[in-house]
Amino acid sequence: MARKIAYALGMWLLLQGIAQGEDLTMKRAQAIFKPIPSKAPDLKDNRSTAVKLNLGKMLYFEPRLSASYLISCNSCHNVGLGGVDLQETSVGHGWQRGPRNAPTVLNAVFNVAQFWDGRAKDLEEQAKGPLQASVEMNNKPERVVETLKSIPEYVALFKRAFPEAKDPVTFDNVARAIEVYEATLLTPGAPFDRYLQGNPKALNVSQRQGLELFMTKGCSNCHNGINLGGEGYFPFGVLQAPDAEIRPSGDLGRFKVTNVASDRYVFKAPTLRNIALTPPYFHSGKVWNLRDAVQVMSSAQLGNQLNSDEVDKITAFLVALTGKQPKVEFPILPRSSDMTPRPMLD
């Protein structure tokens, strides 16, 4: 009898201990990370309204914003493909390859700044980049405005979306409307979010162990906050330079923005949200397998301190970062008019 009591007590203490350990992991995680909300955050100086949001969505899917009329925001940031294009580096005007891997648009509003090097302070500023980049949409602000002004339905929508503007169809307002739409492209409800919201069973055992490793081994030093990344700039290759294929010597990252020597090969830590959906990885897009990417980080950032089992578990945890993908009704775009410029393919 006494034996049975001792056994039961032992079991109880063990389970309590595990439960407390689980509880501590969750508390720690809740201090480091935040779940993705289901609603878009308020934007600085860019109030969301239903009409602006709708316009922004149309513009996001509008190939006539590119010189060729073949490329829209959604071409490289495909909302059906985790907000990316599954290319090493994006392909744009004239089938040219861009210099870096397309970051996901999903949850991008929570990043401290945009692009791998953070050169755009927000999504509004970001949107203006690809529109004009010769290897992307290859357009000019004046031509974007000329195209939109030639389409009566767009003129009416801009008037309603920017009611205080004298001349509402401007390049700035194109970017503002797109920002309002992009801010709604959120993926709440990932297993990890449900875990952060207090459900210990939302992660399976390996995922929870992966989370623990993620926090104890140092991953969360750079990949933290709501986006598990996107909050700061860090050298790629803290302890060991990655292969030259993965970190091409010609791309100095944030150095090009700040011109500060210590910013050589420094990049914004990318969000790990939906990372299982968005291969290939790194700014070079040279690593296709998620486990391989974790291995690269282990050697480059942590000096190879993760064993194979630990890499597996962290990979399992990363898969738990896949949230509910946004429901998007494909916008019906207005017809061109006789004044609309012709597509330019060359």
Instruction: Read off the tokens for 134.
Output: 């010769």
Nearest distance from residue 265's CB to its own copies, in Å?
26
Nearer to its own copies, 268 or 313 (CB): 313
Nearest distance from residue 15's CB to its own copies, in Å?
36
Nearest distance from residue 141's CB to its own copies, in Å?
21
> Peptide bond preceding 280: is omega within 30 degrees of 0, i.e. cis?
yes
Nearer to its own copies, 1 or 330 (CB): 330
> Is residue 146 annotated as part of the catalytic site, yes or no?
no
d(CA 39, CA 180): 12
A 10 A CB-CB count for 37 gives 13
Nearer to its own copies, 180 or 275 (CB): 275
Does the CA dihedral 92-95-97-102 come out positive or negative? positive
Name the residues that contact its own copies, by CB under 8 A. 61, 63-64, 68-70, 75, 78-82, 85-87, 91, 94-95, 97, 276-277, 279, 288-289, 325, 327-333, 335-336, 338, 342-343, 345
91-92/96-97 β-pairing: antiparallel
Instruction: Read off the tokens for 299.
Output: 């050697």
d(CA 151, CA 139): 17
Nearer to its own copies, 45 or 338 (CB): 338
146-150 long-range contacts, Cβ below 8 Å, gap at least 24?
146/341, 147/64, 147/65, 147/340, 147/341, 148/174, 149/339, 150/336, 150/337, 150/339, 150/340, 150/341
Bridge partners, residue 114, by sequence = 120
Nearest distance from residue 52's CB to its own copies, in Å?
19
Nearer to its own copies, 257 or 333 (CB): 333
Choosing from 136, 179, 182, 310, the catalytic residue is: 136
92-98 long-range contacts, Cβ below 8 Å, gap at least 24?
92/130, 92/133, 92/135, 92/136, 92/137, 92/138, 93/66, 93/67, 93/68, 93/134, 93/135, 93/136, 93/137, 93/138, 94/138, 94/345, 94/346, 96/134, 96/135, 97/135, 98/133, 98/135, 98/136
Nearest distance from residue 171's CB to its own copies, in Å?
21
CA atoms within 13 A on the CB side of 149: 12
Nearer to its own copies, 3 or 342 (CB): 342
Nearest distance from residue 61's CB to its own copies, in Å?
6
Residues taking part in catalysis: 136
